[in-house]
Amino acid sequence: MFNSQVLAAELHPRQVRYFPQIASTNDLALTLLNQSAPTGTIVIADEQTKGRGRLGRTWYALPGTSLLFTMIFRLPQSSLPRLTMLGGLAVCETLQHMGIQEVGIKWANDVQIRGRKVAGVLPEAAWDGGKLTGAVLGIGVNVTVDFAASPFRDTAISVQDASDTPIDRLDLLKRILARLDAWVERLESDHLFEAWRGNLNMIGQYVTVEGRRSKAIRVDDDGALILSDEDGTLHRVIAGDILLG
Ligand code: BTN
């Protein structure tokens, strides 16, 4: 398990709120947004009892088997689409830099190793009377989760499964935070968009979205997926689950 003092020392000067157990790091981060927590503050836990995934799903892992954290951002509204790309890209590049093979991003932001999900990202914005007050970026990474006997056996993977050397959660966290910090400086740059787009692993392939089979042909500047039906009709998808094939 993590330790407050070690986290504070290792991540100094970043503000860190650590909990052995919490409902959801995103929920607390959204509360902290209203209490003037600065950009870069993270909420991190060893276990979540009400961890949330995309599309209203739950996200659960046994204590100490994942990285479960949320970063706070204060940013202009125009940067919100980039925040979504940031999380997936930072995790994807971290794993690549560690020498892990076949790492890619399944649109919009699932990080995969060999086509299996290793990390998910949940960005959420906070508004006050129509004005953006800030945003949070929740990241969950399977580090040593054992999927062998789980329903996700064929669709999920842990970082440890793809590495010959033991994965240390604190080391992995520091590497991901370093990538996040590096990209935050260039949130609005074409470079970030191109790096994210370059790691998408299903462009050019046939996918099924909400029962409709079409070809994923590109993403637009806001990160929406552009699909082409067999008759060439284009569709723009901003959120949802896509299946390969
Ligand atoms: C997804 O559905 O792929 C997104 C999963 C996001 C999970 C992370 S774990 C840390 C943070 N806190 C939450 O409640 N959810 C996110």
Distance from the Cα of residue 119 to its chain's centroid: 6
Kind of pairing between the strands at 103-106 and 66-73: unpaired
Residue 67 CA, ligand 1 centroid: distance in Å:
10
Spacing, Cα 137 to ligand 1 middle (Å) = 9
The domains located in the chain, with CATH, are 4-198 (3.30.930.10), 206-244 (2.30.30.100)
**What gap in Å lies between CA 144 and CA 74, rounded to an integer?**
32
Q: What digits encode the pLDDT tens for the residues 167-204?
A: 999 999 999 999 999 999 999 999 999 999 999 999 99
pLDDT single digits (tens) 70-83:
999 999 999 999 99
User: Residue 106: CB within 6 Å of ligand 1?
Assistant: no
Please name which of 9, 2, 111 lies closest in space to residue 64, comparing C-alpha atoms: 2
Whether the per-residue pLDDT at 209 is higher than 90: the answer is no
pLDDT in tens, 23-70: 999 999 999 998 989 999 999 999 999 999 998 999 999 999 999 999
d(CA 132, CA 139): 21
- Model pTM score: 0.96
What spacing in Å lies between the alpha carbon of 65 and ligand 1's midpoint?
14
Predicted pLDDT of residue 179: 98
Specify the pLDDT at position 28. Answer: 98
DSSP-assigned beta bridge partners for residue 209:
212, 242
